[in-house]
Amino acid sequence: MTLKATDGPKLPGKAPIKTRRFSVSLVWIVPIVAVLVGISLVVHSLMQEGPTITLNFKTGSGLTANKTVVKYRNVVIGTVSDVELSDDQKSVNATIKLVKQAESFTREDSQFWVVRPRIGAGGVSGIDTLLSGDYIGADIGQSSARAKNFTGLENPPPITYGEPGKRFTLRTQNLGSVDIGSPVYYRKIPVGQVVAYALDADGKGVNIEVFIHAPNDAYVTENTRFWNASGIDVNVGANGFAVKTESLSSLLVGGIAFRAPEYSPNDQPAGEEKAFDLFEDQQTALAPPSGKAQYLSLRFDQSLRGLKVDAPVEFLGIEFGKVVSVNLDFDVKKRSFPVNVGIVIYPQRLGQAHLKMLEALKHDPNDEAAGIKLIGTFIENGLRAQARSGNLLTGQLYIALDFYPKAEKVVFDSTARPATIPTIPGSLEQLQEKLESMVNKINQLPIERIAGNLDSNLVELRKGLTQFNAKTLPGVQTTLADVSKTLQSASSTLAEDSPQREQLTQTLDELGRMSRSLRELSDYLGRYPESLLRGRPDNAPPMDLKAPPRN
């Protein structure tokens, strides 16, 4: 038997090691890649996702979840994801998902509103929503603080997108026809608009906020005057009717105009938020400064029908104040009803007269006691107030201050506040008193006795005229005829060329004219016997002195 080497006992040594290679099937490659892509998309989506905010509106009109978008400068920056009622069920909360680039719209003073078709003072807006549907408009704020809850505006703000310009505040007694969006004019060109208004803290006035667009905001200077340009200004003067208005828009939605006086030396542009007074019209706005006001009191013992508040007060024909109150009073002693009238005057409106008075009298306008003493001096020299008719057609009255040296002296109370200026009756009342005195004098005349005497005198006169016509006048005519015959016979005896004959001829002509005049006088008195007392009436026919003698 043959032995092989391999058949012998095995030598000790290392055991063989078997290795196993890890292998992945190609089937798993696609799911793994899909998972990685999904994870990257999720991470990218989370990184690109913008903030979520909540807007509170009064109603949900125009808001639809996953449909209504949020736009800024007509670019979509977010979408409404949910619309639900608020906890108190008095409003609507809209959840907005903004894009990453719109993160700055979370600033605390950002504004949001629903854009829909509107017709307002600023014109027609939101017409494009008729086709695209309502959307939410946005305007970025300037605050550094952030917020997630906002209150939506019911109306779009007048100024958006950080438009350059300046805001100014106007003070006035009432709003009038001005509204948010009403235009602001400079030389009849629209350069701004009204953006807000609110009552004063004490409720006695209105503050109107206007925005003037750049570069026209430079025309608002320290001496600029604003006035209400709403409606139509109609003036009636010697040249006829004058109609003024800024534009057709100001007639419908109101408006404000501004301008500085023509002479404004060293005028500078006004700063942001500067406050101005809003005047009623252009004439009042551009008038010289009124200066310090002084209140006075008047007391009239007459009817003042036609005197209204704001009626002018004039001094020697110059308007320098107005009526501020008209109140009926009762005098216990006289048992009468006088009228108390309060007026305000502005002495500075008198111009050069006021300046020269201050210089000559060394009067300080800020010293109230000295001013009252000065008024007392004027009253001693005849200063009186009178209610005069300013318009005969409407019956409107105004107050006139003038000097009447012959006026009755009065005692001036220098301690009264406001000072009281004595009054005199108005011109119509004076005329009425004169007419009443004339009527009283006429009533005192014995009219009936005078009329009876006139009637009896006329009867006697008629009798005398009848006797004159029947007896005296025929005798006179007969005498004249005899004298004429005598003169004619005397003339025939004289030579033709003798002077005596010419004189006789002239005498005969005079006698003829006298006879005719007597007959005409007799006929006229027979027709108009009253002419002896009243004179010849205008409708009486003329006396024909050249009529031929009656046979």
Assess contact for 194 and 179: CB atoms under 8 A: yes
Q: State the average pLDDT over residues 225-245.
A: 61
Q: How far is CA 370 from CA 102, 295, 363, 367, 379, in A?
A: 68, 15, 7, 5, 14
Of these ranges, 32-36, 96-100, 450-454, 488-492, the one predicted with the greatest mean pLDDT is: 96-100
Residues 6 or more apart in contact with residue 243 via CB below 8 angstroms: 232, 233, 234
Q: What are the two backbone dihedrals, phi and then psi, of residue 460, each rounded to the nearest 5 degrees?
A: -65, -40
On whether both 393 and 309 belong to a single domain, the answer is yes
Domain presence at residue 128: yes
Residue 48 tokens read as 């690109």
CATH of residue 502's domain is 1.20.58
On whether both 64 and 201 belong to a single domain, the answer is no
Residue 324 tokens read as 């501020």
On whether both 328 and 388 belong to a single domain, the answer is yes
Domain boundary among 151, 175, 207: 151
Rounded distance between C-alpha atoms, residue 543 and residue 520, angstroms: 7
204 in helix, strand or coil? coil
Domain boundary among 151, 183, 203: 151
Q: How far is CA 272 from CA 166, 209, 218, 257, 278, in A?
A: 6, 11, 11, 18, 17
On whether both 345 and 214 belong to a single domain, the answer is no
Domain presence at residue 545: no
Assess contact for 97 and 32: CB atoms under 8 A: no
Q: Does the CA dihedral 172-173-178-180 come out positive or negative?
A: positive
On whether both 303 and 392 belong to a single domain, the answer is yes
Assess contact for 401 and 438: CB atoms under 8 A: no
Domain presence at residue 234: yes
Condensed to tens digits (0 to 9), the pLDDT of residues 383-427 reads: 999 998 887 777 788 999 999 888 888 888 888 888 899 998 876
On whether both 78 and 147 belong to a single domain, the answer is yes
Split into its structural domains, the chain has a count of 4
On whether both 272 and 189 belong to a single domain, the answer is yes
Give percent of the chain with pLDDT exceeding 90: 30
Domain presence at residue 69: yes
On whether both 326 and 259 belong to a single domain, the answer is no
220 in helix, strand or coil? coil
210 in helix, strand or coil? strand
Domain boundary among 413, 439, 465: 439
Q: Which domain holds residue 525?
A: 455-534
What is the bridge-based pairing of β-strands 312-315 and 123-125? unpaired
Of these ranges, 79-83, 129-133, 283-287, the one predicted with the greatest mean pLDDT is: 79-83
On whether both 471 and 369 belong to a single domain, the answer is no
Q: State the average pLDDT over residues 265-289.
A: 87
The whole-number pLDDT of residue 3 equals 47
Average per-residue pLDDT in the chain? Answer: 79
On whether both 348 and 417 belong to a single domain, the answer is yes
Domain presence at residue 28: no
On whether both 300 and 271 belong to a single domain, the answer is no
Q: Is the pLDDT of residue 105 over 70?
A: yes
On whether both 301 and 345 belong to a single domain, the answer is yes
Rounded distance between C-alpha atoms, residue 253 and residue 122, angstroms: 8
Domain presence at residue 478: yes
Q: What are the two backbone dihedrals, phi and then psi, of residue 139, each rounded to the nearest 5 degrees?
A: -140, 125
Element holding 196 (H helix, E strand): strand 189-199
CB count, 10 Å around CB of 136? 24
End-to-end CA distance of the chain: 226
Domain presence at residue 22: no
Domain presence at residue 387: yes
Torsion of CA 374, 376, 381, 385, to 10 degrees: 110
Q: How far is CA 403 from CA 359, 363, 380, in A?
A: 22, 21, 10
